[in-house]
Amino acid sequence: MNERGAVSTFLAVIALALLMAAGLAIDGGRKVNALREASHLADNAARAGAQAVDLDTLRTTSDLQLHADQAARQVDEYLTSLGYTAAEVTVTGDRVTVTVALTVDPVLLPTGPITVTATETAAAITQEP
């Protein structure tokens, strides 16, 4: 029985398995980091938008409302200053919801670009001095 080259085949298979495991660890970590970054960006952008309080409405009716256009503009300005854009901005009453999508290029895995999204909401509040 000829077993020549059996060790070479075994090593090739093991090397491929180790490379795939390393790819999952590295590219998976990059995906998790991108998801965390998208969440932070969306959260901070929503907070920036939640500062667009309609002061006239608040003073006359005590209703807390946001200027929708101004809130969306503040979200865009915040994200643009960091080199990003919002996938979606929704302003409803006193709340701003922002969705940010980021794309990560894998280093080892041959899967193509990975897109992650995060959606965060911030609400305007009033405080007594």
The structure's pTM equals 0.81
Note whether residue 51 is domain-resident.
Answer: yes
Note whether residue 129 is domain-resident: no
Question: Do the domain assignments include residue 56?
Answer: yes
In the chain, % of residues over pLDDT 90: 65
Give a yes or no: residue 1 inside a domain: no
Confidence class of residue 129 from pLDDT cuts 50, 70 and 90? very low
Instruction: Dump pLDDT digits (tens) for 51-101.
Output: 999 888 888 988 899 999 999 999 999 999 999 999 999 999 999 999 999
The reply to whether 44 falls in a domain is: yes
- Residue 101 lies in domain: 6-123
The per-residue b/e assignment along 55-89, b for 16 or more CB within 10 angstroms, e otherwise, is: eeeeeeeeebbbbbeebbebbbebbeeeebebbeb
Q: Report how many domains make up the chain.
A: 1
